[in-house]
Amino acid sequence: MPINSLLNIHFMKKRLLILVFAIGMMGFTQVKAAIDNFCFTDAFGYTANVTATKTAPGYWMLSGTADVLTGYDWSISGYYDKGSDVWSLTYTNTAPDGCTFYVDYFTYTSYAHGAGVIYFNWTSYCFGGPLSSGSGSTTWTNAACAGRLGDDRTVVGPVSTDESIYSNPVADLKSLPGGITLNEFFTEASLSVIKTDENNFGISYEVAGNTNVEVMIYNHIGQYVATVVNENQADGFYRTSWNATEALPGMYVAVLKTDAETITKKFVK
């Protein structure tokens, strides 16, 4: 094959790789998950260690283990959706006994929350179908549980033969005073770019927590153009600008990178 043809193939492959990188960069909104740990304690005396892992803007997957006073831990799965402001947990029996003593699983779905407390509807399930339901509340703290908090309880779980557990009053649960609500705690980075004149762009962004912040500009094929911000910043809202006098007209991508996540914003000069 002629050398010119080989060179052309080489450059075509290189351009294709650059294009694939650029397309991928244009599409991503997060490359590193924000993870937090919580402890829940409800009126039944159950405690739960829950890890919240951010998987998409405004959405966290929940996982962990629960002590429901059965002598072994149950597994936890669920989600927190900031858009609808709903917190949902499923407690699954890791040693099911055919609902002889303990249910197969039960769910908590929030309908309101305040400082340090969540109000929820719950449903227990046996053999795949609902058994009982009700409402209650649970306290939460932004830390792993220090230890088992319900040892003095005689109720051993949401059992099918013990209806007394379903009448546990919400008043049994002491709400934590002060603090922040869940939706206030789950702050996340945001980024906007506005063209102020022909060659200047205003960049506004918000960061959650004390973190290193980088704001960088890339062109439409993924090539680095400029660094606008590179420093440690406290929680808050910031404004800066980018002078694009030396940049060619076309599509650009602003990238905001913190210790917890990376988000992008496309804009046109």
CA distance 227 to 234: 19
Secondary element (H or E) of residue 18: helix 3-27
Cα gap 121→137, rounded to integer Å: 8
Q: Is 221 found in the same domain as 166?
A: no
Which strand ranges, in their side-by-side order, compose the sheet holding 236-243? 190-197, 200-207, 236-243
Residue 242 burial (10 A CB sphere; 0-12, 13-18, 19+): buried
- Show the domain range for 197: 188-268
In the prediction, which pLDDT does 203 show? 92
State residue 116's pLDDT score: 73
**Does residue 94 share a domain with residue 51?**
yes
User: Would you state the pLDDT for residue 224?
Assistant: 96
What is the mean pLDDT for each group of 10 consecutive residues in the chain (269 residues)?
A: 45 40 36 64 83 81 89 92 87 92 92 79 91 86 65 35 36 40 67 89 85 94 95 87 94 91 89
* pLDDT at residue number 184: 64
Same domain, 97 and 207: no
Residues 6+ apart with CB under 8 A from 223: 18
Asked whether residue 30 is domain-assigned, the answer is: no
The reply to whether 67 and 111 lie within a common domain is: yes
Residue 152 has a pLDDT of 39
CA gap 64, 74 in Å, rounded = 9
d(CA 73, CA 20): 46
Give domain status of residue 80, yes or no: yes
Same-domain check for residues 196 and 143: no
Q: What is the pLDDT of residue 175?
A: 35
The pLDDT value recorded for residue 183 is: 64
